[in-house]
Amino acid sequence: MSDDDTMPKRPSGPRPAARAPRKPEDLGAERRGLSRSAGEREGASPSQANHETTSSGSLRAPAVSVPSASGELRAFFETSVSLDAAPVPDPLAITGSEKSPSIRPTSAGDLSTPRVPNDWDGAVLVTGICGRLGRLVARLVHREDRVIGIDRRPFVGKPKDIVHHQFDLRRKKTRDVFRAGGIRAVVHLGIMHDLRASPKEHHTWNVVGFQKVLEYMTQYGVPKLVVLSSANVYGPSPENPQFLTEDAPLLGAQAFSEIRDLVEVDHLAQSFFWKNPQVETVILRPCHILGSVRNAPSNYLRLERPLKALGFDPMVQVIHERDVAEAVRLSVRRGVRGIFNLRGPGEVPLSHVFRILGRRPVSVPGGLLEAGLKRAFRYRMTSFPSPELDHIRYVCMVDDTRARRELGFTPRFGIEDTVKAVLETA
């Protein structure tokens, strides 16, 4: 390889003119001017800017300050931003006519801790809302809360602001209602009392259906449960004390096996109460409910010539259906939990109840009455099974001290209004 290939070639064309040499006094003036301008920008005095002191204490000439390209670019962009008066919109906070929710960045602590929704602002879900008592509860509760109902029956006269899901409580659609969220409390009234139904139907509806409700409540974080049980779970007996407290054993199914599902529902609610302390669980056990409801006590008092056991006139407790609905409304409030017996205006003999209604009962010996009811119920001549005779022979009265003290419940209807409520039509 030749030297011509390795050496760079000189460009062709005329040679540029040589720069004239600078004089020493011009170079010194230039250095002094650049050093002065740099010192003034940094806020230093001219003497500090033009001289620096070395470690030995002697003075040395100031260094030449040469402007860099990055400084010129920075000055250019700062000038461009200052001339732009229009603010740059934040893409994470789009509001106004675009109707997009504003998004706010979260800190590291917010990302590590999940946000807990305020479920106490949600609706109240009522199972069995289409029954007579369910409609009363729905109309009373929806004055303060949004109400959602689940019942396979149609809701006659439903208010416009109540949502009704017409399907069986045991279907998977119930899970979809809970999954949608927005439920702060569940009021469970969907209990079957049809003694003509098969034991399998009773069990799947009352027990299995209620277990599903408890499962969905736990899964989707519903903070409140209100279960309407009955004082009948204690069971009438000649060995009962005068008044039964909430701690009394539930012996109602010993002589009346048809209500063992109701006792099991009460036990399930108690178990849920202790296993899930984060949920406010309320169990209401009212005495005999009277009104337009189609239960055994109301149907019995509607008879023109009711039968009674000869030689028995027990003390009974009754409560108006509207007072029960009011107790449910009080139970839905935040901060209330526990088991509460509900009692009406007082205790009266069964014979006094008949006098208020103007009824003339027929007294029949107990053994003959029991045998006759067994046969009549078997041939569908009556809706009263023979074990229910114990309710008109023995006492089953409750103490409601806890409900009056902690729940703040006081019945509004007197004894005559409560008894005459059986004559009302739904």
Residues listed for the chain:
426
Rounded-to-10 torsion of CA 119, 122, 127, 133: 120
Condensed to tens digits (0 to 9), the pLDDT of residues 283-311 reads 999 999 999 998 999 999 999 999 999 99
The yes-or-no verdict on residue 336 having pLDDT over 90 is: yes
pLDDT value at residue 35: 46
Percentage helix, strand, coil for the chain under 3-state DSSP, each rounded to 5: 40, 15, 45
Reported in sequence order, the residue ranges of 255-376 that DSSP labels E, i.e. its strands, are: 280-286, 288-290, 307-309, 315-320, 338-342, 347-349, 362-364
Q: Residue 256: which pLDDT band, with cuts at 50, 70 and 90?
A: confident
Least confident of 69-73, 81-85, 374-378: 81-85
Condensed to tens digits (0 to 9), the pLDDT of residues 341-360 reads 999 999 999 999 999 999 99
pLDDT value at residue 22: 52
Other C-beta atoms closer than 10 Å to the C-beta of 53 total: 10
Query: Reduced to 3 states, what is the DSSP secondary structure of residue 32?
Result: helix
Tokens at 253, concatenated: 């199914």
Q: Residue 185 is inside which H or E element, if any?
A: strand 183-188
C-alpha span between 158 and 206 (Å, rounded)? 25
Per DSSP, what are the bridge partners of residue 52?
60
Average pLDDT over residues 21-41: 48
Beta carbons of 268 and 203 less than 8 angstroms apart? no
Q: Residue 184: which pLDDT band, with cuts at 50, 70 and 90?
A: very high
Average pLDDT over residues 86-101: 36
pLDDT value at residue 119: 53
Average pLDDT over residues 389-417: 96
Orientation of helix 321-331 relative to helix 132-141, angle to 10°: 50
- Whole-angstrom CA distances from 403 to 4, 225, 280, 284 are 113, 17, 16, 9
pLDDT value at residue 346: 92
Beta carbons of 188 and 148 less than 8 angstroms apart? no
The yes-or-no verdict on residue 116 having pLDDT over 50 is: no
Largest CA distance in the chain: 144
pLDDT value at residue 5: 47
Least confident of 43-57, 127-141, 197-211: 43-57
Least confident of 76-85, 125-134, 361-370: 76-85
The yes-or-no verdict on residue 426 having pLDDT over 70 is: no
The yes-or-no verdict on residue 408 having pLDDT over 60 is: yes
Condensed to tens digits (0 to 9), the pLDDT of residues 384-400 reads 889 899 999 999 999 99
Average pLDDT over residues 36-60: 45
C-alpha span between 99 and 95 (Å, rounded)? 6
Q: Residue 78: which pLDDT band, with cuts at 50, 70 and 90?
A: very low
The yes-or-no verdict on residue 9 having pLDDT over 90 is: no
Domains and CATH numbers, the chain: 119-423 (3.40.50.720)
The yes-or-no verdict on residue 110 having pLDDT over 60 is: no
